[in-house]
Amino acid sequence: MKKNPPLTQEDSELFHQAVTLVKPLKPRNQITPPHSTLKPIKRAPVFYEDAACLETAPLVKGDEILSYRREGIQHRVFKKLKQGDFSVDARLDLHGLRVGEAQQAVFRFLLQSVARGFYCVSIIHGKGAGRGETYPVLKNKLNNLLRHRQEVLAFHSSPRHQGGVGAVNILLRRSQENDE
């Protein structure tokens, strides 16, 4: 493999002139906290999915609604979630991520959201129509994953004005730390 020759002084000066006005891009897929008095949280551990929970939810198509609620969630609360009546504390956009990257992003997002005391969050997964597949991969992966996360109380596809069937609103369990 060839090594690139070292930069000349002139090339180095030209490069520095060219990048002086460049500003770094904001990172994607990060939680934007509603206030600045957040406690630092521990780094999210790496998760490995349990093979037993891979095929529990039925497959859904891109235009179908995702919906789930744990036992004990009141009908009135679930109805408010379905209608989009809860204010969304944070959003995560999975567009452009591969399945493994999306899974890790979801795990981190949920942990950070619970640690920060968020109650309702949203994940934008898309409809999966771009690849010509019958069943959207990310949407179905998310459907299975959310059903097996202890911090998830309920979820439902967002109302049309919040992203429709390409996004899901999620109610989260309160963190034990926040109760103290």
- Domains along the chain with CATH numbers: 60-173 (3.30.1370.110)
- Residue 68 CA to residue 82 CA, distance in Å, equals 10
Contacting residues for 128 by C-beta, under 8 A, at least 6 apart: 62, 135, 136, 137, 138, 139
What stretches of the chain adopt beta strand conformation (E)? Answer: 67-69, 90-93, 120-124, 152-157, 167-172
CB 103 within 8 A of CB 141: yes
Whether pTM exceeds 0.85: no
Chain-centroid distance of CA 53 in Å reads: 19
The whole-angstrom separation of Cα 168 and Cα 88 is 11
Pairing of strands 152-157, 90-93: unpaired
Nearest-5° Cα angle at 86, 81 to 92? 90
What is the residue-level pLDDT of the chain in tens, covering all 180 positions? Answer: 566 777 788 888 887 788 787 777 766 666 655 554 545 555 444 444 444 444 467 888 888 899 999 999 999 999 999 999 999 999 999 988 888 899 999 999 999 999 999 999 999 998 876 666 678 888 989 999 999 999 999 999 999 888 889 999 999 998 665 444
* Alpha carbons 37 and 27: distance in angstroms, whole number: 21
